[in-house]
Amino acid sequence: MTKEVKDFAQGESAAIVRDISAQGDWVPLIDWSSTFPGNRGVNRARRYELYDAPVGVRITIEEARKAGPIFAADQEWDGLGEMVPLCVWQHEEKYHLLYSSHPRVTGNPGLGDGHHLCYAVSEDGYNWTRPHLGQVEWEGSLANNIIANGPTGTPFEDPQAPPEERFKAIGQVGASFDPDTEERLDTQEAYKRWRRQEYEGAAYKGPRMTSRHWVEGWTSPDGIHWKSVGKLGDMSSDGGSAAQYDPETQSYFAYIRVGGMGRRATGLTRTNDFWHWPHAELCLFPDPQDPPDVSFYGCSYFRYPTNKNLHGAFVEIYHQVTDHNDAQIAFTRDMTHWYRPERRAIIPCGSSGSSDSGGARPWGGLFELPDGYWATMYRGHTSLHNYRESEPVIEREPGVLMLARWLPHRFCGIEAEVEGRFTIPSVKRRNNELHLNYRCQNGGYIACELIRGVPSRIHPDADPIPGYSFAESDLLTG
């Protein structure tokens, strides 16, 4: 039996051919795994030289192309506040969107004021309507797009569930209690006690409050009509729950916000039984390469569109000193060990005066638009995270929903600012063509050369295939 080789090794084994068919038609250059690290060896002329080394190149992300706003928090029930995209899915040649609408907070900050789950629909992903659903009465009228009994987390489709449970969601639910009597407190009473506890410290002798959180679940046949199924987990899930069904393992998983790092971070929880969720284990967190004020507010998970074994996430970064939020991108091949190609926003805040100048916060995963772009929805706002009506005055416009877009496989790539070169490992030929997804700046170009295979460290110098040398290559531009 021939032993399967899953990756290239060092030394004499470097020339082993890699089978990349499981990665799909395109192999995204999101890390160094698809480049040969190079070596130094003694060539046929008995000289000790450098061969096939990646020189003058780096992995760099590509900032999103923005579109929108697609609509603003301009309905009466939106309260001029913010909107959070939760889920986009396609059905019957239409795009469907669930989002939560959060009226502007006027009091009791930090305890969570009222919000609504709402629905919108689109033919093309760019132009959306908010149909009247007739489910919830708002100031005496059912003419609104508010959904009754809506979940607090991110909905997902469960293909193996019975029809009445086709859509599911988990999310955090919490309340404030009197720790002595176990009485559940209303928001105003809880905030009054909390404020005094915070400011007066040990000198405060009045009735106290404590907050508790847990995870609940919801099910729906169509994503629009929901019912609560009660408590599913005894843990907090602040900052959003990116739950999914995994068809490969026929199980469920969720990325949720966890603590324990001195910073907000992300944990992973898995279960074979949707009705019971264990505590999440830490998997993605700020590290020493991050600025010291960075926290991870959320992890908007997506499976890479053309490779079931590659996973991505838009990581919402909270910059606590400047009080704004933007998003970086992260990848993993095992759902547990994550890395970020750069510590730079792939969805940055907009310039001063734009609808997303104070925050660009994606959620709800990735979807494809009719024009071929890959996209995610994000909420934009002009205010800063902790700002309320105070001095200095910050102009607060109603929140908006916007699109962040990329051409396929353009999340990141290998870049040379001036001259650079690299070699890909030897790969198993599937047909007689190789395609390159590239872009050159004005005056830039790419030249290619084909060799039989990456040579070993013992015999490092390889001749190009006749007719396919750099000198015979057509330069790629544009």
357, 350 Cβ separation under 8 angstroms: yes
Burial bucket for residue 350 (CB in 10 Å: 0-12, 13-18, 19+):
middle
277, 297 Cβ separation under 8 angstroms: no
| d(C-alpha 233, C-alpha 172), whole Å | 9
33, 17 Cβ separation under 8 angstroms: no
- By three-state DSSP, how is residue 275 classified? coil
| d(C-alpha 464, C-alpha 423), whole Å | 12
**Confidence tier at 460 by pLDDT (50, 70, 90):** confident
**Residue whose token pair is 């502007």:** 104
Strands 184-185 vs 167-177: parallel, antiparallel or unpaired? antiparallel
| d(C-alpha 413, C-alpha 286), whole Å | 23
**Confidence tier at 416 by pLDDT (50, 70, 90):** very high
pLDDT tens column, 15-54: 467 777 778 889 999 999 999 988 888 988 999 988 888 9
pLDDT confidence of residue 121: 98
**Confidence tier at 109 by pLDDT (50, 70, 90):** low
217, 149 Cβ separation under 8 angstroms: no
* Nearest CA among 330, 291, 280 for reference residue 310: 330
Percent of the chain with pLDDT over 90: 67
- The domain limits of the chain are 1-57+416-478, 65-408
| Four-CA torsion 269, 272, 274, 280, nearest 10 degrees | -10
- Superfamily per CATH, domain 65-408: Glycosyl hydrolase domain; family 43 (2.115.10.20)
Tell me the pTM. Answer: 0.90
